[in-house]
Structures are given as C-alpha cells and as structure tokens.
Structure 1
Amino acid sequence: MSDSTEALVERVARKTYQRDMQGEDWEMSLAIDGLLSTGESEFVDAARDLIDRQIELQGTEGKLGYDDPKPWLDDGARAQSESSALVNGCLEFYDRTGEEKYLDAARKQVEFLLDEATRLKDGTISFASEPIELWVDSIYLVALPLARYGAETGDEAALEEAVDHIVAQEKLLQDPYEGLFRHEWRETPNTYPESTFWLRGNGWAAAGILNMLEYVPDDHEHYDTLVDSFQRVCAAMLDLQDASGLWHHIPDDPWTAKEASGTLQFAYAFHKGVELGLLEEDAGYVEAAERAFEVCKSVVDEGGSVTRVAVPPGGPDVPLDVASYGQGWFLLAADQLEG
C-alpha cells in the first residue's frame, strides 16, 4: 500500500531540514518556503533556523548568506540575484513575529538590488555582474521577492522594478510563437547562449508571475501583460505534458529525461491558476496538475528525498539527482493540491 500524501510530506519535510545546505541561497529559499507550507511547528522552526543563519551571514553589500562563487558563472562574475529569493523567508517571519531584524534584512537585500546591481542598457537587473544577461530564473528569484517587499512595505520603486523585470522577460525571453521562455539572453553580443525551452525555467516563469500577481494591483498598466504571459506559458505547457504525468527536461524534446522539479512547479501553478480564476477551470489544468503530483509521489525515496531533479545550472545535459529546491517544490505542490 502506497504512503498517504500526509506521510510523504512529513518524510520529505524531515529530510529537507536535515540536508546540508551550507553555501546555498536560492536553493535553500525553496526549502524554507516548502517547510513553511507544511504549517507544522517542527518544520516552521527549522525554516526559521535556516533564515536566521542567512541573516547572520548577511554581508556588507546587503546580500544574504555566504555569497559564495557560483561554479556555473564565468570567472570573476558575481551572482547578483540568487540570494534575493531569501527575502521571502525574511518577510514571512517578519509577518509572523513582528521582529524588525527580518524586515531589516529584507530591506538590505532589496537595496542592494535597486542601488548596486549591474543592469542591462534598458535598466533591467542583470542576472550576474558579467556578462550582462537576462535569465528566466530571475522571474521567481528576483521579481517575485521585490514585488512582495514593495507591496508589503509600500516601496513603490521595488514593486515597479519587479513589474518592469517581467515586461523585459516577456519581451526578450518569451517566444512569441511558442509561448515558452528561453533560458537566457546576452546583451552583447545580442544572442541566446542557452536558448532551449528549459522545463524548470518555464516553471520559474509560471509560478513566479502567478505569485507576483498577488502583489500587483489589477489596475496597474502592465497587469494584463503579466496575466497574458502567465496564460501563454501555461497553455503551451499543458499541451506538452507526457502521458506519464511528468514533463521532459526540455519540454518540446521527448528524448530528454522526465524531470520532477519542473513537473511539481507546473502542478502548483496550474492548480493555483485555476483556483485564482486565471486559468479556465474546464481546460484540463486541474487534471494535469493532479496527474503531475500523483506521479511525483512515486519519485520520493524511502529516506524522503525527491529524486529525478535536474541539478544546477539546469542546461540540457545536466544530471538528475536530489536538490533542496526539489524538496521545497514537492512540499509547496502538496500544500496547494491537498493542503
């Protein structure tokens, strides 16, 4: 007899906070979000321990965590955006406790992005200090935390920066014919160093825009652009789901591996999109989400690890393994579908 979802969630959550996440930032941020989604005091306390440690390590520039060099960036480049995802955990614990240290930590990280980050010629925050590039990851890791911070603190500059970032992403990375997002665009030369329609990248886009819409007023001049972008990527992905319920690592290439973290992102985004009235209830999104989550239950091993997760940096040929964000997305999808 297979385990219940409740039992799987407990196993995955326990394995998540037992992981060695030293040196992680964005990966850990999804683990924190997932632990929080369980609502269990044991796991919420574990999430607080994780975010407290990242605040202790916050550097002079304002970036949370260790700010270690990233092996997937060019020598000398700085990852400007990846620690920004931890702003969500800071704001969550500020909301829960009222302790100013959490708001102060979020403010310092946001100020770094607004005041110090390297930008494209059009003003959009670059993923790294060099080369100047736009990565689809930043929809979730940069724009979403900026939007939440802006909405919750009344910082209009942060909210507008978040919206402008999505508008730039829609223009430069979302294919006008397919509706899917490419991985990354480089300003000079004007090219796509990684042009594939990467599964988790499209998951970052769908889930990131969806959650951002909770913070953007519906009378904002770009609100409809965000909704349209979200709906187009979801419509494209709905047609690409494998009969197994999983999606392929490169969604339009059936010869690539079936991958769990992106599948969980779309289970989450499809279900929540219908719940919020942004996706049509009778278009098959809920059924697709349920198939996706059901098959992902089977990739959880006896120890609570979510397997079949593509590891960083996420290009076409990366291996499948276990990662903190895979753990987090399982917990978030479980809460959305069955919480």
Structure 2
Amino acid sequence: MKQMMELRDVAKRVIHQMKTLGNETRLEEECPISIIDIGKWEWAQGVGLYGLLRYYQETGEGDGLAFLIKWFDRNMAEGLPEKNVNTMCPMLTLTYVYESTGNPAYLALCQEWAEWILTDMPRTEENGLQHIVSGQANEQQLWDDTLFMTVLFLARMGSLLGRQDYLDESVRQFLVHIKYLTDRKTGLWFHGWTFEGRHHFANALWARGNCWYTAGIVDYLDIIQDLNGGVKLFLLDALLSQVEALEKLQHDNGMWHTLLDDPNSYVETSATAGFAYGILKAVRLGYLPPRFRSMGEAALNGVLARTKENGIVTEVSYGTGMGVTLDAYREIPLCPMTYGQALTLMLLTEGIKLDSSQS
C-alpha cells in the first residue's frame, strides 16, 4: 500500500478533478438534472460534497470549507430543485457547513427539508420512504440508495436538533430496508423492492447499491452515538453478513464486479471504493474482525490502480436506475463521476488513518 504522503498527494489530485468535473466525455445523460457537472444540485454531487467534507474534517487540509460555502450559496441563490430522495443528498453536508459557519439560512433550509421527509415524503407500505427521484415517482418502491441519500441526513438533523422523532424515523428506515432488500441466501442486498407485485425487479445484486450500506452504516453510527444497543447489534450483524459475502466475491485485483455474483460483468471502481471505505473504517472501530483489513487494503490498491496520475478515477459506472434485466446493469456506461471521486476520497481518508496507525 502507498505511504501516507503518497495517499495525500493522490487525494489532492482527486479533489482537484472533482471540483472541476464537467461532462468532458459528452455522455448523453438520462437524468433530468446533470449528475456529472459538479455545479448542479443532485445526488451525485451531494456524495461528492460529502466526500470532500469528510476529507477536510479529518485532515484540515485545503480550502474545502470555502468551496462548500461557495457551492451552497450559489445554488441557493439560483433556486433549488424539487425535494426527493436524490436531491436530498447535498443536505447532509450542509448540516456540517451550518455547524462551521452558524449561518441561519443554512439551518432554516435543513429544517424545511428534514420536516418534509418526516411529514410529506411519499411512503410505501410499512412506511418505507418511497424512492421518488427527479422525474419519477417510483410508487411503492424501496431502493438501497435511499439510506445514504436521505436517511443519513434525517439522522444527522435529529442529532443536531435533539429531535428524537427524526432519529426514530431513521432507525425505522434502516430496519424496513434491511427487511425487504436483503438477499437471505447471500447476505448481500438487492437493488430494489416493489410492493406492487412484491418482487426484486431483476434480482440484481448490484455493487454500488450494496456499497451505500457498507459505507453508510459506519457513518450512521457516528451520527447516532447513543443508538439502542439491540438495534446497533442488528445493523452490524447485517454489515458482517454482507462483508462475509463480499469476501468470497472479491476479484484477485481487489475489485468487485458491478453485478457482484456475475464475474462476466465489469469491475466497478466507485462500489469498490465504498466497500473498502466501510470495511476499513468498521475494522478500525471494532465493528468488524481484524481479518477483514487485508480485504480492504486489497480494494484500496485496486482503486489506486484505477486512479489516473491527474486524479481522475476511472471505471466508474454512470447513474443506474432500477433495472428490469441484468443486462441493464452490465450495459451502464463508464465515465468519471463525482461520486467516484468522492468515494475514492473517503477511502483515501481511511487509508491515511490506517497508515498512521501502523507507523
């Protein structure tokens, strides 16, 4: 594994590319709002902002806070898109920017959007958060993306404001998503579930969808420090089951395939980075046994091998809607994405911590 200073140098290049990312590949986007252009307000950019925030928080390096303030101020002045699961994602980072600045406009916006989740966001049966996105209602559908994109923010607001109802709702969402999305045969997660017809669409064990739990649960437990002991154990059991399954499916090059159980599907970098981040952090915090550290390190090396000298993270799949066939996942195009940069950045942050602990 590269040494700490080398990892920091890679991180700086990854950050630079994320801050300036546009649609240089000229990919024809399917989403109503661009999820490539860093300047837009959508889920992909929200993950990008969060990765930048986490690196800034851990290292104190660079002008991360200034960039975030400028980004939020510009988008707020231009006007925000409609509320949904995906456009909620940038709000998680905004809660931390509010804490750093004390800007009441940031807090007011966070309060408005958090209350919408609790009172107005469409629900499925059993009160799951319906995966409504820009341009699609996805009625009665649960997707694994929702936990990272929306529920982390709701939990963070519960912690920030002392709102037990927000915290309780975040717990319910984790439990209902685990109930309906876990593949009981493997411990991995299906991409989605619909109560209309009660099925898992293509039964896709999609890699990036799975990584939203691996990467998200370790940060969720940071947000809720006093989570009920039984619930915490249940969430960590789900993580262990998932990681044990991932251990059997990791490629020799440290990567995972975009369809985890299909070795003929391409390996995918953003998912691998998300898995490695969650695994290494969970090992560091004692949530997973130490034997999984080598698995995370191998994934880190695989991601580094796919990060260009200029900081562009390659072999990242474009945003992926719910597939009704497995070929739909195999055929998603590859291009640089803010979430690919961000999940790599989060992984580099853990890699720096790992290197520091070993030195």
The two structures share one fold, judged by TM-score above 0.5: yes
1:49 and 2:53 equivalent?
no
Give, in angstroms, the shift of residue 335 of structure 1. 0.7
1:29 corresponds in structure 2 to 46
1:125 and 2:132 equivalent?
no
1:231 and 2:240 equivalent?
yes
Q: Label 1:270 to 1:182 Cα distance change in 2 as closer, same or farther (>3 A).
A: same
**What is the alpha-carbon distance in structure 2 between the residues aligned to residue 178 and residue 242 of structure 1?**
17
Give, in angstroms, the shift of residue 267 of structure 1. 1.1
Match of 2:142 among 120, 134, 139: 134
Q: Which amino acid in 2 is paired with 1:53? A: R
Q: Per-residue CA shift, 1:38-81, capped at 9, x if unaligned?
A: 432323322222233333355xxxxxx334xxxxxxxxxxx721
Match of 1:249 among 255, 258, 270: 258
Please tell me whether the aligned partners of residues 196 and 316 of structure 1 are also in contact (alpha carbons under 8 angstroms).
no
1:174 corresponds in structure 2 to 182
Q: Per-residue CA shift, 1:77-105, capped at 9, x if unaligned?
A: xx721122212111111121222222212
Please tell me whether the aligned partners of residues 261 and 326 of structure 1 are also in contact (alpha carbons under 8 angstroms).
yes
2:85 corresponds in structure 1 to 81
- State the TM-score, normalized to the length of structure 2: 0.84
Please tell me whether the aligned partners of residues 23 and 66 of structure 1 are also in contact (alpha carbons under 8 angstroms).
no
Q: Which moved more, 1:23-32 or 1:9-18?
A: 23-32
Match of 1:163 among 171, 176, 179: 171
Please tell me whether the aligned partners of residues 210 and 230 of structure 1 are also in contact (alpha carbons under 8 angstroms).
no
Please, which runs of 5 or more residues in structure 1 have no aligned partner? 59-64, 68-78
Q: Which amino acid in 1 is paired with 2:113? A: Q
1:257-276 equivalent positions in 2, closer than 5 A: 257-276=266-285
Please tell me whether the aligned partners of residues 276 and 300 of structure 2 are also in contact (alpha carbons under 8 angstroms).
yes
2:194 corresponds in structure 1 to 186
State, as a whole percentage, how many aligned pairs show the same letter: 26
Match of 1:330 among 344, 349, 353: 344
Q: Please provide the CA RMSD for this pair.
A: 1.9
Structure with the higher fraction of residues in helix conformation: 2
**What is the alpha-carbon distance in structure 1 between the residues aligned to residue 253 and residue 94 of structure 2?**
37
Match of 2:218 among 210, 223, 237: 210
Q: Which amino acid in 1 is paired with 2:12? A: E
**What is the alpha-carbon distance in structure 1 between the residues aligned to residue 138 and residue 179 of structure 2?**
21
1:305 corresponds in structure 2 to 312
**What is the alpha-carbon distance in structure 1 between the residues aligned to residue 38 and residue 282 of structure 2?**
31
Q: Per-residue CA shift, 1:132-161, capped at 9, x if unaligned?
A: 200000111122111111112111111111
Please tell me whether the aligned partners of residues 306 and 315 of structure 2 are also in contact (alpha carbons under 8 angstroms).
yes
Give, in angstroms, the shift of residue 331 of structure 1. 0.9
SS in 1 for 2:142: strand
Give, in angstroms, the shift of residue 223 of structure 1. 2.4
Q: Label 1:256 to 1:130 Cα distance change in 2 as closer, same or farther (>3 A).
A: closer
Structure of higher RCO (CA pairs closer than 8 Å, 6+ residues apart): 2
Q: Per-residue CA shift, 1:86-130, capped at 9, x if unaligned?
A: 121111111212222222121111111111111012111100133
Please, which runs of 5 or more residues in structure 2 have no aligned partner? 22-36, 322-328, 354-359
- State the TM-score, normalized to the length of structure 1: 0.89
1:72 corresponds in structure 2 to none
Q: How many residues get paired? A: 319
SS in 1 for 2:311: coil
2:295 corresponds in structure 1 to 288
2:103 corresponds in structure 1 to 99
2:157 corresponds in structure 1 to 149
**What is the alpha-carbon distance in structure 2 between the residues aligned to residue 317 and residue 268 of structure 1?**
26
SS in 2 for 1:162: helix
